[in-house]
Copies of this chain bind each other. A is one copy, B any other.
Amino acid sequence: MQPTLYIAVVGGGTCDPDTLRRAERVGQLLAERGAVLVCGGLGGVMEGACRGARAKGGTTVGFLPTTARSSANPYVSVALPTGLGEARNTLVVRASDALIAIGGEFGTLSEIAFALKVGVPVVGLDTWELAKHGGPVQAIHCVANPAEAVARALQLAAGAVRATS
């Protein structure tokens, strides 16, 4: 039996309609493939992804910064208040076998970087570009659309899980 894969979807707490649509599509596809969706539990990309996943019967885990479960978006099926503030970003990463970043601001970048630091593969859809001393750093698996994002994330996650079992 295949182990269940846990995939983080990270991105801005507010976002434009096109980004929201892509987040929703990522959520749908993850649920159809049987993955558990992990996120920060709030609005924007997080809400879009959760809505998509729930529409397909998926499980959606939200690590909330505050101590109030009611701060979760309505599509989080397992809502987890942490009281850790923004440090809960590290929990989103630690709980995931791979991470899909969609757009996003500094919080998203902190999750991308933390994931790369601790060995969680990162797939990016119109998100941050990494560079140092003027040269690009090829660490994010860049993809062109939600279908590619999900396929790549699941492939990388399965490899990561095998490597640590």
Name A residues whose Cβ lies closer than 8 Å to a Cβ of B. Answer: 3, 6, 36, 59, 61, 67-70, 78, 80-87, 89-91, 94-95, 97, 105-107, 109-110, 112-114, 116-118, 126-134, 139, 161, 164-165
- Cα separation A116 to B104 with both chains bound (whole Å): 13
Verify A86–B86 contact, CB threshold 8 A: no
Chain B residues whose C-beta falls within 8 Å of the C-beta of A84 in the assembled complex: 83-85, 87
Known A6-B69, A106-B113: A78·B78 in contact at CB below 8 Å: yes
Given contacts A127-B132, A129-B132, A129-B134, contact A114 B118 (CB under 8 A): no
Q: How many Å lie between the Cα of A67 and that of B24 in the bound state? A: 28
